[in-house]
Amino acid sequence: MVSRDRYPIGQQDFRDLREGGAYYVDKTEFIHKIVTSQSKFYFLARPRRFGKSLFLSTLRYFFEGRRELFKGLYIHSTDWKWEEYPVLRLDLNTDRYAENGQLSVVLDRLLDDWERKFGISNTYSDPSQRLGKIIESAHEKTGRKVVILVDEYDKPLVGNMNKVENFEQYRSQLASLYSNFKSSAEHIRLVFLTGVSRFSRLSVFSDLNNIKDISFSNDFADICGITEDELFFYFKEGIEELAQEYRVSYETICRRLKKNYDGYRFAKDGSDIYNPWSILNALSELRIGNYWNATGSASIIAEVLRDKNVDIEMTINGRWSLDSLAGLDLMNADPTALLYQTGYLTIADYDYRNDTVRLKVPNDEVKEGLFKNLLNFYINVKRGTPSGIVRQILDNINAGMPELMMKNLEAYFAGIPYDLKMDNENNFQNAIYILLTLIGIDVKTEVHTSDGRMDILIETTDYIYIMELKYDGSPDEALRQIDRKQYALKFNADIRKLFKIGVNFSSVPRRIISWKIEER
């Protein structure tokens, strides 16, 4: 029987984890790569709850020379001298920064602690000047260069994307603080920053032109998260216990865990990565649930996608350069980069010929969380809308009953509140895509043909549905476009029954008001 208390749920302190006998997936090989390289400025971007804080904590105790904590781990057997360095850990993940001035409070507390630790008198009021003096004095007092670990360096900015005044104040404070990494470089052994993204309006990356961003590096692809090999090596007994709980075979429960929590990939040739937060919770609770979704909301992302009039299906399944995913301007966020950096999209494959990646939603847990959130933004129906309509839509599609499908879609969209943004064809198209994807339908939007693009294509085992949408138009106009542009031509040799559907969505009642169906 596995002791489920050993799963380190929410434990971010390496010492507590090791001394408490908790499970630890050995990532110290990556520490050895870092400390034996010529680089001394590093940056790592990963989504929330992926183990960034634990890795920084591991780095802290490593540089403090706490060799006893690393017994049995990879780095314990290396020839590292285990000398103690002065370590400054700047943890910005301790507050929500919802109000102006909260960053100053956090910084004052940290700077006070470091000044006491190294016996440094405070002669400055400005946090940046205080940090500069601490770095220089700690080096002088200990005889060793300083290690600086910055946890969630961008947290004050991420929480204020929609608050311009707060955002600008925090951006200015952080830029001034981080300028010490360049001005005090002669006193620094290592700077390691973690966060969500490289933000273009924060000067730390332009000032440190030699910073090593390992976010997309093949060599560091597995630095956070759990690979499949690690899952089966460290947690085999826990997986067996979960299989017993569900009364299924070991192989079956492995497939379910993979479908729900695997699928992340952070480099061109990287391994598939399981979400560590979700896996540990599932094994600890003996329940396959949606754990990661409960730790954050996609509401800001949904708002960006809707307000920028983004084609969601094209964004999710498109091809993008790594450069386009690496940086982010939070005040004018690129929707695809935002989805990738927050963990709602990940790399599916890499094309070496075109130097592009195809993206995907990593797994079922993420898909459910993202699409339910999006659904609320596009089609947050009024109370009283029959709950069985969604199930009926699914059954209608699978049974080849387009007339009933459209009647149920009409009823569903009739429940949209008037003030919800449904003011153009693209938002209407996105709403249908989200709804059908969430209920498990294979749906594509803006499908390219030789003479145009289909608005919506639905394929099942026995049926094909081609839907053309018109906003304040007519179903006849939509059907004429399907025929004129020969959208059905590619399916001429297909034995499945094909339905061509022209749909008119009206801007005044904000609902489907008419449609026509033709069969082939």
Identity of residue 356: T
Maximum Cα–Cα distance across the chain: 84
Q: Which is nearest to 257 in space by CA: 283, 233, 293? A: 283
Give the CA distances from residue 88 to residues 95, 139, 192, 503, in Å, rounded to whole numbers and listed in that order.
18, 11, 11, 61
pLDDT band at 317, cuts 50/70/90? confident
Tokens of 121: 């008198």
Judge whether residue 266 has pLDDT over 70.
Answer: yes
For residue range 242-257, list pLDDT tens digits in order. 999 999 999 999 999 9
Residues 18 and 13: their CA atoms lie apart, in Å, by 9
Judge whether residue 419 has pLDDT over 60.
Answer: no
Residues 311 and 453: their CA atoms lie apart, in Å, by 13
**CB neighbour class for 354 (10 Å; exposed up to 12, middle 13-18, buried from 19):** exposed
The SS3 call for residue 378 is helix
Tokens of 462: 């026995």
Q: Average pLDDT for residues 254-268, to the nearest whole number?
A: 96
pLDDT band at 314, cuts 50/70/90? confident
384's CB contacts (< 8 A; 6+ apart) are 415
Judge whether residue 306 has pLDDT over 80.
Answer: no
Give the pLDDT confidence score for residue 383 in this predicted structure. 46
Tokens of 430: 């996105």
Judge whether residue 286 has pLDDT over 80.
Answer: yes
Residues 64 and 376: their CA atoms lie apart, in Å, by 48
CA-based angle 274:278:279, to the nearest 5? Answer: 60
Helix ranges (DSSP H) in 385-473: 389-398, 402-413, 425-438
Q: Average pLDDT for residues 20-40, to the nearest whole number?
A: 96
Beta bridge partners of 213: 43
153's CB contacts (< 8 A; 6+ apart) are 90, 92, 174, 178, 193, 194, 195, 204
Residues 166 and 159: their CA atoms lie apart, in Å, by 9
Q: Which is nearest to 379 in space by CA: 514, 511, 468, 503? A: 511
pTM over the 0.95 mark: no
Give residue for tokens 């929707």. 335
Judge whether residue 185 has pLDDT over 60.
Answer: yes
pLDDT band at 424, cuts 50/70/90? low
Chain CA centroid to CA 289, Å:
18
What is the separation, in whole angstroms, between the first and last Cα of the chain?
60
For residue range 186-198, list pLDDT tens digits in order. 999 999 999 987 7
Residues 181 and 462: their CA atoms lie apart, in Å, by 62
Rounded-to-5 percentages of helix, strand, coil across the chain: 45, 20, 35
| Residue 103 and residue 173 in contact, taking contact as beta carbons nearer than 8 Å | yes
Give the pLDDT confidence score for residue 197 in this predicted structure. 79
**What rounded mean pLDDT belongs to the chain?**
89
* More confident position, 491 or 160: 491
Judge whether residue 84 has pLDDT over 50.
Answer: yes
Tokens of 29: 């090989």
Judge whether residue 319 has pLDDT over 90.
Answer: no
Residues 87 and 112: their CA atoms lie apart, in Å, by 15
* More confident position, 200 or 410: 410
Give residue for tokens 């759990």. 226
Give the pLDDT confidence score for residue 239 in this predicted structure. 97
Give the pLDDT confidence score for residue 382 in this predicted structure. 47
Judge whether residue 20 has pLDDT over 90.
Answer: yes
**Local structure of residue 332 (DSSP, 8 states):** G
pLDDT band at 330, cuts 50/70/90? low
| Residue 80 and residue 35 in contact, taking contact as beta carbons nearer than 8 Å | yes
Judge whether residue 385 has pLDDT over 80.
Answer: no
Q: Average pLDDT for residues 357-386, to the nearest whole number?
A: 76
pLDDT band at 371, cuts 50/70/90? confident
Judge whether residue 391 has pLDDT over 90.
Answer: no
Q: Average pLDDT for residues 54-65, to the nearest whole number?
A: 98
Q: Which is nearest to 138 in space by CA: 173, 193, 67, 186? A: 186
Residues 463 and 401: their CA atoms lie apart, in Å, by 10
Dump the DSSP string for 72-139: TSGGGGS--------EEEEE-TT----STTHHHHHHHHHHHHHHHHHT-----SSHHHHHHHHHHHHH
pLDDT band at 386, cuts 50/70/90? low
Give the pLDDT confidence score for residue 384 in this predicted structure. 45
Judge whether residue 116 has pLDDT over 90.
Answer: yes
Q: Which of 78-82, 180-184, 196-200, 454-458 has the lowest mean pLDDT?
A: 196-200
